[in-house]
Structure formats: C-alpha cells, structure tokens
Chain A
Amino acid sequence: MALDSSTKAVAAQRAAAAGPHRGGHAAATVRRVAGKLGSLALTLFLASLLVFFSRFLVPGDPVSFLLRGRKPSPEAIAQVTAQYGLDLPPWQQYLNWLFGALQGDWGRSLQYRQDVSTVIGERLPVTLMLVVMAGILIAIVGLSAGIVASLNKGRVLDRATLIGLTVLSAIPSFVGSIVLIAVFAVQLGWFPTFGSGEGFADTVYHLVLPSIALAIVFVVLVGKVTRSSMVEQLGREHVEVATSRGLKRGTVIRRHVFRNSLGPILTVSGILVAGLIVASTIVEAAFGIAGIGSLLVASVDRLDFPVVQAIVMLVVTTFVVVNAIIDIAEPLIDPRSAAGASAR
C-alpha cells in the first residue's frame, strides 16, 4: 500500500496546508477549520462522482450491467429500471443516489433483496470490532517497538527491532491468516478457525487470530514513525535542558519526548484506518467472518453493484473524515504544530 510514500505524502500535504499563521489566534483557528471542512466536502463530492459514474465506463446498457449473471424477466428489467431511475438522465440518477445516500438510503441489494443499509448495518459491528482490536495491537506493539528502538538508537536492539519490523511488513494479511490458522487453530487447537462467535467475550475470542493477522503489516508504520519522531525529539535542546535540570530519565522521556512526538504518530494512525478496513476483506475471507469486507467480496462475486458502491463510499468517507478530524484536532491538542509548521 505504498506505506512509506503515503506517509511522506501526507506530511508534505500537511506542511503545505498549514500555511502562515497570522492574525488573532481564535479567528485563525476558525478560518483554518472552515477551510479544512470545505476541502473535506469537496474531496467527498469528487469521490462520490468517481464512485457513481464509474458504472458508465462499462460498455453496454445499465440494465444489463446491473442484472449481469442473472436471467432478467421483463418485469425484473422494468422493476430495476424504475428502482434506479435508469431511464432518467445520468446527472439526475446521480442526484437521486447522492440525496438518498445522505439520508441513509443506498438502494436495494440485488443479491439479498434487502435495503443496502440493512445488509451493511448487520455486518458493520464485527468489522469495527476487528479493526479496533487490530488497532489496539498495532498501538501496543508499534509504540513499544518504536520507543525501544529510539532509546537504543544505533545499538543492537535498535537494529534488531528495525529488522523485525521490516520482516513483519512483508507478511501480507492472507499469509498471516493461513499461518495463524495452521499453527494456532489447527495444530494447537487454541482458537477457532472460522466465524465470529456469539456474544461479546466469544467474539473477542474468535477475533484474536484475525486481528493479529490484520495488524502484522501495519505495525511497521507506527513503529518506524514512533522511532523517527522520538529520535528527533531526543536530540532537541529542551530535552537536554530537562536532563541537565536533573529530572529522571523516565520523566523526561514521558513528558518531554514522547508527548512531543505524538503528532506524526497521530497522522499515520489516520492513514491506518482505511488500510485496516480494506485489508479486513482478506482477513474476513480467510476466517469466514461475516463482516463488511467479506460482504464486499461476495458482492463483487455476485455482481451486486449497489452494495459495492455503498461500501466503497463508506470506506472512502471514513478515511477522509478520520484524516480531517486528526488534521483539525492536532493543533488544538498541540498549539505549536499550527504555529510552528511554517517556522520549522
């Protein structure tokens, strides 16, 4: 997923967007937030155009596209035409779809003969759970790896951690899945091989292996960013001052180093969210979990395009909104990042 370049890209984007900081602080903040929200809306609007009009790139008429692989009766054709307003001009179809979607109406699934929102709603909780568990794992492992490496910079432990992270980054989630299933589910029998269980505790138990498989590739992102961010902070003057004042090393690292290195880590976490949801397609398929990811694959397989459109739009919206929130919140958490972005 071009993880390295994406981090750099986002960093570049942030630096460019931060701009000079003039005028009153409050007014500047309002202006900045408004600008971000406008940009967010524009990106989402353009993304919705891409998702909706992609269907028109396929040669042939829209009715036979939507009914591919099925034997349409004349009634079915008439019904689909009426339901999606396929006889309307494209821009009107788009507006209908957009305003429906804004109100939570994504049309009807061709496969399940239910509302798309119902189909997705039923499967959303498991995927969220999976993503949250993977996120927690990534945070714990990534942060500790990054901190350990940065505190031992240039020493054996640093090298070993970096090599470990590089190896983990090369284990795609489907490889992680089958290895974990083979070892811990089949050989040792510690965990179930399939499904997502009933009730909270059982679900957590069922999702242990899947969340590990999902987390593996992404640990490297958080680990490397934490390391470089900590290393940068460790070399700063204020850290030297704090140390020379006789503060305990633990206190210095907690208060002066780690807290200051959170910015880049937060930014990377934003990119993680969409990556985790998309990668969960593979993990859910491997472990037979009925979530959004396996729904997406099944919908592609059964040519259920309305569901595909809705899930793609959902993932893209999540990505854009989460990143906007992080972008907006960061200077509020750490006022220097807005003021300092241009000075740095």
Chain B
Amino acid sequence: MTVSNNTLAVEVMRAPKLKPANATFGIAIGVISVMTLAAIFAPFIAPYPPDQLDFAAVNAPPSPEHWLGTDGLGRDLLSRLIFGARTALLGPLLVVIGSTVVGMLLGLIAGWRGGWIDAVLGRIFDVLFAFPSLLLAIMAVALFGKGLVAPVIAMSIAYAPFVARLTRALIKAERTRPYVAAYRVQGFSGPWIALRRVLPNVTPIVGAQSTLNFGYVLAELAGLSFLGLGVQPPTPDWGAMINEAQAGIVGGHFLPALEPAVCVVLVVVAFNIIGEELSDRIGGEIPA
C-alpha cells in the first residue's frame, strides 16, 4: 500500500510551473500588503482619529499637518483612508471565503455524485446566474436593512454558483483519473477520496479564480456604499467617503472623492494582476 501510494503521489503532485516573479506581480503584492497592514494597524498608523472634526481646516489641500488634505468637515483624509481600508478589505474577504467554501462543496457534490443531485443543483445555479450579484445585494438590503452584513451574505450566495460550476467541471474531469480508481480498488470510501484526495487537487485552480473575484466584489461593495446602501457614515469607508464627497465635486473640491477612488482602483488592479498571475502559474486548464 505504501508503494502504490508513492507511485500515485507522483501523479497527484502536478507541480506548479514556477516562473520568475515579474515586477507587476511584485508591485501588486506590495500594494495589497500595505493596504492590509494599514487596515490591521489603523489606530496606530493614522495621524488623527478618523472622525475628528476640524472646522478651521475644511476642504484643506495637502499640507504637513494633513498629508492628503481634509474633507468637507475638516476630517483628515489620510486617517479616514487608512481606517476605510478595514471595511473595504473585510467585506470582500468574507464574500470570497463564503462563496468559495459553499461553492466548492456544492460543486464537489454535483460533480462527484452526478445524476439527479447534479441536475437539481445545476437548475438552482441557473436561476442564481440570472441575478447579478449587485442586484441580489440591493435586494438583501431592501429586505434586511443597510449595512455590510446583508450584502456580504447576498454576494456570497451570488458568487457561489460560479465557484460551484468551475469546481464541478474540474471534479468531473478528475474523477476519471486512474488514481481515483486506484483508491477505490483499495477500498477507500467515495466521500473520503472526494474530500481528502480529489478536492485538494482542484483547490489551487478554484483558489486562483476566487482571487480574481476579490477585486470585483470589492468594487461592488464600495459601489453599494457609494449608493448609501452599504457601510453607513460616519464610519470611514471608501465608497461612503466618495458618496459624502460628491456634493463637494461641483464646488471644485475633488480630493475627498478622488483619493478613496484611487484606493479602490489600486486594490482592484492589484487583485486582478495577482489573480491572473496565479491562474497562469498554476496552469490549470479549465474544462469547458
């Protein structure tokens, strides 16, 4: 048994093609690391409390006191951006984890069992595909109220079918491989093979796809806060900051709106680069 396990292991371990890290990938990782650290250590880094008003410096341009200027209420923009990174990153993180866990489980069941379970799940996914994620999130807010909780749950549900469909396709391809039959012959149970041996083999590809989703989810949640349906002021949040700063734009005060917008774009670009690079490196062929 040990011998056969070792020979199998050779086949199971399809080592990811390692390419030299390129510069953009490094920069993207850097951006995400900085944002994450800022979010975690916000109270220690931010020069001011995020909601400290200073009516003497309203809509102030960047200065030694306020590096990135202040908003319409005289709040320090840099401090608000640093604290805003918390909700901006936490929301998508929860959605990506939730949708990946649920989606992989459902995809595993559909792909492994097949038959009527597969058909029923496929039909449910079809229905959910018809609900764009932002629409489902807006509907959740209409039902359960504003904030981050309802949209995060709704978007986890909206993204789960994408993960599930990918997992299902990968599992179907994996099932027919010889190592699965070998485990079967040795008397391992179906669920054990599926969970302990097959699922780990498809996880990297699914994980790379989920990384790509992170950026989209972040943009959508920020958009929801921009609409006034997500994170509520005065909590510092990038989307909510843009919403609050909108009135100032017509008056020529661009910075309070542009700065959080730049943060959103930076993080989305960074996650897209990381996601695409990971997909490339893992080199998994996604069966159609």
Contact = CB atoms under 8 A, between A and B. Distances in A.
B242 to A, nearest CB: 6
Interface stretch (B10-18, B45-53, B70-78, B226-234): B226-234
A319 interface: yes
Given A170-B215, A315-B135, A175 B261 contact: yes
A308 B249 contact: no
A301 B249 CA distance: 23
Interface stretch (A39-47, A89-97, A122-130): A39-47
Interface residues of A, number: 60
Contacts of B220: 1, 172
Contacts of A209: none
Contacts of A319: 130, 132
Interface residues of B, number: 56
Q: Most chain-A Cβ atoms within 10 A of its Cβ — which of B127, B142, B216, B258?
A: B142
Contact of B249 (A2, A178, A320): A178
B249 A172 contact: no
Nearest to B132: A278
A181 B249 contact: yes
Interface in B268-288: 268-269, 272-273, 286-288
B131 interface: yes
A45 B96 CA distance: 29
B261 A167 contact: no
B209 interface: yes
A174 B239 contact: yes
Contacts of A253: none
Contacts of B213: 2, 5
Given A167-B269, A315-B132, 4 more contacts: A1-B133, A186-B254, A274-B135, A297-B138
29 contacts: A1-B133, A1-B220, A2-B213, A4-B209, A6-B129, A9-B161, A9-B166, A39-B126, A43-B123, A43-B126, A54-B143, A55-B143, A58-B143, A166-B273, A169-B272, A172-B264, A174-B242, A175-B261, A178-B261, A179-B258, A181-B249, A182-B258, A281-B134, A282-B226, A286-B246, A300-B138, A305-B143, A308-B139, A315-B132
